[in-house]
Amino acid sequence: MTEDKTALRSDLLAARARLTPDERTAAGRLLRDTVLTLPEAEMAGTVAAYVSVGTEPATQSLLFALWKRGTYVLVPRLLPDGDLDWASYEGPESLEPGRFGLLEPTEPVRGPEAIRSADLVIVPALAVSSTGARLGRGGGSYDRALARVAESILTIAPVYDTELVDVLPAEPHDRPVRAAVTPSGGLVRFTGTEAGA
């Protein structure tokens, strides 16, 4: 199982590296526009999200747009044990370089449990299956964070079009998402048993 995931991660990261900057920018814009029009995003008082880096689907303009319209945005800071702490996003200047090339918040942290206050949660993924199984980078940080999110809260993974797949290897500790959003397909909600977990 671990070998399957490792090989799959390598393939997915290589495919992302082949995208041009223009393709990534266009994808990020489409993803942002889809998320901003979701009822869950329009009504959310608090959104927990992540700051994209490298070849990930871009989230910076989404974070900025949510913040500008008055949504309280939480972004993560990676803890030494691999768990995630959360602090408020107060615009692009409120981010600083962190470990592993991440951009992290400079505001005071609110603790790993702060994600429980979010009305919408946006998490990174390398791929998502048709039942909501999510393939991350392998550190388990977001599996731990998602375990704190109530079942009634929408959890979304933005991915490129080719990263919404039929099946992914999943282990018992892997936490699914309730939806994925792709540049061309928009939002896809999952109703499978995995996604309800």
d(CA 49, CA 87): 11
For residue 191 the two structure tokens come to 């109703």
Closest of 122, 123, 125, 120 to residue 164, by C-alpha:
125
**Exposed / middle / buried, residue 140 (Cβ in 10 Å: 0-12, 13-18, 19+):** middle
pLDDT of residue 1: 53
**Contact assessment for residue 177 and residue 195, using Cβ atoms and an 8 Å cutoff:** yes
pLDDT in tens, the chain (197 residues): 566 888 899 999 999 999 999 999 999 999 999 999 999 999 999 999 999 999 999 999 999 999 999 999 999 999 999 999 999 999 999 999 988 889 999 999 999 999 999 999 999 999 999 999 999 988 889 999 999 999 999 999 999 999 999 999 888 788 999 999 999 999 999 975 444 44
Q: Beta-strand (E) ranges in 6-71?
A: 46-48
Pair 178, 192: CB distance under 8 Å: no
Separation CA 88–CA 20 (nearest Å): 31
Rounded to whole angstroms, the Cα distance separating 158 from 163 reads 9
**Cβ partners under 8 Å of residue 69, min gap 6:** none
The alpha helices in 37-81, defined as continuous H runs, are: 39-43, 60-68
Which structure tokens are listed for 29? 């814009």
Residue ranges in the chain assigned as alpha helix (H): 2-17, 21-36, 39-43, 60-68, 141-146
Q: What is the pLDDT of residue 192?
A: 55
Give the pLDDT confidence score for residue 2 in this predicted structure: 62
